[in-house]
Structure 1
């Protein structure tokens, strides 16, 4: 009757309060159901044994009372027959059964009290199991929704980071475009400066060519050519 030692704890347990306090109701409800079903199986087994004990005690009480009634009637008949010694013997036997009857009744009372407790535990456990089974799907659906929302929150948070990264990339892209425009402008300026320089060289070189021609003509005249 080990389960009887847990009677008070089981009867005081509040399934709803337990679920409200636990951090992960989905896992807790499955574990609690397993524990309750194990307790219920033990209670059923113990209850069957205690009810058997109670019935046995009932039979002992009934049989003892029948023996007392039998010896009482026999003693009375012995006295009516004028056999006092036999009546005395029968009364002594009756008193032995009366002494045993007190013990049998105590056992009967105890076994019936224990049987009542076991029935109370049985009904409590059955009710708790039904309550949990009724709430299990709803609780698991709520937990699943919560986890889904957490996942979405993470995605949204990650989207903010992606948005921030994209904005940074756009800033870098604009900066690169500006650098390219500056380099292009500088190249155009360099090209313009080079053209002007080439033009100046052209006219400068023409002067040098005239000098060469003059010297060439003088050399030809001297040689009589």
Structure 2
């Protein structure tokens, strides 16, 4: 098989596959039924035209028959007048008309036979069309039922195109939802660790802890003062002693921080002096 032949075969195969996918059996059946009805209409029109031609010949035949009778009367009258010559001419015309009538009879008979044959074929075609119409409606009902059953089966099994699209949409929605949930949990965790506070404030973790400690001491001091005013004061408890120890440690830390600051300032001053020298 040559290249062109193979290419032509492939193209025809592709086109045939496309036509098979695009073909709707219901539309095909309806189209075939309409074509058959058109053919039946053409047969009926042919019968009508043939009948018209036959009627014209029959009218012409009747006129010739009238002329034959007229020529008979002419011949009799000519004989009565002793005009044999006129009688002969009348009889000659009569015979010519009879020959024409005989020819017309043959044509009329032929047209009648053709008409009878067409009428028989028309009746057969009409019966087949009615039979095809019944089969067509049955096939359409079967096809629609099979199509509906196929759609239901595809929906139940989830293999249809629409179900595949729906499944992919649900999968994308689940992924998006999980992503948003993870993002929300991450934001909550960052908020709990104070990451957002760090972004909005110039205080570091030590500053926040020291500030929290000062707030706690102020609350404890105010509470002790209130209790003393109301006569509810008591001897320092272990927790109070622990708080005092914590305050002492905090004071030491602040003192160390001051010493460190002084050392940093001294080092900076020394660097400046070296650069000036």
- 2:198 counterpart of 1:212: no
Gap regions ≥5 residues in structure 2? 1-36, 152-158, 195-204, 229-277
Q: 1:125 pairs with 95, 108, 111, which one?
A: 111
User: Hey, what does 1:3 align to over in structure 2?
Assistant: none
Counterpart-to-counterpart distance in 2, 1:224 and 1:132 = 127
Whichever of the two has the greater Rg, that structure is: 2
- Structure 1 residues 64 and 220: alpha-carbon distance in aligned structure 2, compared to 1, 3 A threshold: closer
Paired residue for 2:3? none
Aligned to 2:67: 53
Runs of 4+ that moved beyond 3 A:
55-61, 140-146, 166-172, 194-201, 204-211, 215-225
Deviations 1:125-164, CA, capped at 9 Å, x for gaps: 2112211110112334556649x86x96xx99xx7xxx8x
**Preserved CA contact (<8 Å) 1:64 1:100:** no
Residues 28-177 of structure 1 aligned to structure 2 (within 5 Å): 28-57=42-71, 63=76, 96-97=83-84, 99-141=85-127, 145=132, 168-177=161-170
The aligned runs of 1:169-208 (5 Å cut-off) are 169-194=162-187, 196-197=189-190, 200=193
User: Highest relative contact order (Cα 8 Å, sep 6+), 1 or 2?
Assistant: 1
Whether the 8 Å contact between 1:54 and 1:115 is mirrored in structure 2 is: no
Q: Within 2, Cα distance between the matches of 1:224 and 1:51?
A: 152
Deviation per residue, 1:5-35 (Å, 9 max, x gap): xxxxxxxxxxxxxxxxxx9422222222222
Taking the aligned partners of 1:206 and 1:141, their CA distance within structure 2 comes to: 103
Q: CA 1:223/1:105 → structure 2, altered by over 3 Å: closer, same or farther?
A: closer
* Offset of residue 212 of structure 1: 2.2
The alpha-carbon deviation at position 210 of structure 1 amounts to 4.5
Q: Paired residues, what number?
A: 162
- Return closer, same or farther for 1:218/1:106 CA change in 2, 3 Å cut-off: same
What CA distance in whole angstroms lies between the structure 2 residues aligned with 1:50 and 1:112?
A: 8
Separation in 1, partners of 2:113, 2:104: 14
Correspondences of 1:14-25 after superposition (within 5 Å): 24-25=38-39
